[in-house]
Structure 1
Amino acid sequence: MSASSITPIRWCDDGHLELLDQRALPDRHQTLVVTSAAEAATAIREMVVRGAPAIGITAAYGVVLAALEEGNDSWQARLASAMTALAESRPTAVNLFWALKHMREIIAAHQHTEAAPVAALLEAARAIHRQDLEDNLTMGELGADLIARSAPCAVMTHCNTGALATGGHGTALGVIRSAWGRGLITRVHANETRPWLQGARLTAWELEQEGIPVTLAVDSAASLLMAQGRIGWLVVGADRVAANGDVANKIGTLALAVQARHFGVKVMVVAPSSTFDLGLASGVEIPIESRDARELTHQGERAVAPSGVDIYNPVFDVTPASLIDAIVCEQGVIERPDRSAISHLFTARG
């Protein structure tokens, strides 16, 4: 199975970044030109680009853009300021901080040079981008091997974890792509994923682009589908995985995992090793981002809630490891994830 033809992130040789504006999909294919680190941070914060791996890739290119900028201050100070702004753009997706840490290592290795190490930073960003695609293809096959145990079956997914959210192919949706290519799945049930409707606007669109059968359902229909025996696996991504296997993912994932356990549906989390935060003991320590109340109170310019009502709009929730059957990363498969199993995989693979 090759990578998807969808290209959400593209570095241009004349020194700018192009992002497929995911806010406009599926009705418009609109590209945003990004020419500075500040614009990259804004694009991440305002959901032009989203999905933990894609956020990390965009942030890495944002550092390159900062290195290309000119100013009266030193290039080291300019890059430090840019990375602070990028780090503040989305607090939950750990891939963002992983990518910035990698770029800091490149900067440290060149700290005594007169000019910013543009070429080295660009190669590092491109390497992060390339590696994410390679990792996704590996995870796709590993996850498909798990689905093969109960194939053929239908699967359910939540939010968007495809080429749009990554360097290509996808994490959870990459597994689904690979499994479909091997004839292991019959249909994908995509939840709409309120309030940004990533499942409706993005996942359903990606699957239709590739001719993979997809049924879009209101979020609250998930338990009914599971109760009817229509789902073999729930396959989701992650924005952060704690050392004990607790997983932060798009709001609604916890409820889906609880329902899946009740109805005997297997739960698979698919995330590259850059999404693991082994410095956090459990999911209790994962910071949960909240977003603007207007996302719930309005549909476009139309108010759909009374003015002044209190709003609770978390972007993520945390699913305990006890509700997860397997976590798939490019280094291997962790079945019945817990602290010991995660530590063993990462220690064994170095």
Structure 2
Amino acid sequence: MIALARKTLVYEWRRFVPVVLAVGFSGLMLVVQAALVLGIFGASALYVNASSADLWAGYPGTQSVNFGRAVSADAEMRLRMDPEVVAVEPYQWVDGDWTPERVDAGSVSIYLSGISVGPDAMLFSKLLSPDLRKRLREPGAVIVDSADLESLGVAEGGKAWINGHPVRVVAAIAGLRGLGGVNVLASLDSARVIGGPQAGRGSTYYVARLADPSRAPAVQARLAQSEASFGPLQVWTAQEFAQRSQQYWLLDTGAGMAVLFMALIVCLVGAVITNQSFAAVVAASAREYATLNALGASRGALARVVIEQACLVGGLGMVLAAVASALLLAVAVFYHVPVAMTLTAALGCAALVALMALMSSVMAVRGLIRTDPALLLR
């Protein structure tokens, strides 16, 4: 029956083109929706994922990186006291107001990150080269995302003010776009000057590198038993803190629930389109199936033909969806649209498309089996 299913696709390919397109369109919608969800809400953990630190220490109960509160400088000493910690860095977070030189541009709310400018620093190590860190040593030097230059009303090398303090854009790079605000990087000293007296009372976070990164959960558990004399403090592994930030924006905010609802709608629309397209093809071939049944082919064998056709059509549709998705996501990246894709997400989308094609074939078979062949032969 596999040969019959394949030959039917070859000789009556025009009849199956709409089904292949429907499956491909459903797959394209799923992939794009997944890429947008991963890209938009993955940006909430940019600060963690773009850094090489193994542990993050901050104020207890912090839900997301951008909600950090200052912790005592004693927290740095507590981290350094642990025998498995080999390096510690402070991270100063400042909510700022950006004012460009251009009189026609308004102020913009920004997230200013004060980081170490050492060549082997952990914060944003996956985005900043040693040369870029060296540029940040200049007082008032900042780095922004190249896609944010227009919204900030400044060009690379241009000047602006953050909370009334003059700054200069020494570089514009890709990969800094965040969720809910514009990210700006500066040296720790510059950030503390811009943040004012409150920024000098401690840091928002302290990050640590371990001699053995695989020991992060054990060290985190040991540090969780810190004495109260070090002040309020909670320690997370980098993976835990990244997931915590993403989960907050995805599940605990209205925007996240709206995106998840849209993803559900996309799945339902794709399932309906695929089901209707395949049902129409099976209905158009009803007389042929009735003839085969009259000639001795069992209904079970005919059902297998339909399911085999669905598998072949689903495979062709997924190939079409993969090609179209790759092109569309490449265009999105070119225009700085926040998209991301992982192997797990891609395999999940493929599994959903395959399931939709299979369920559509099962529903079509049920309708075919319930029909009296004698009525179709009239």
Same fold (TM over 0.5): no
TM-score (norm 2): 0.19
Name whichever structure is richer in helix by fraction: 2
- Greater Rg by CA: 2
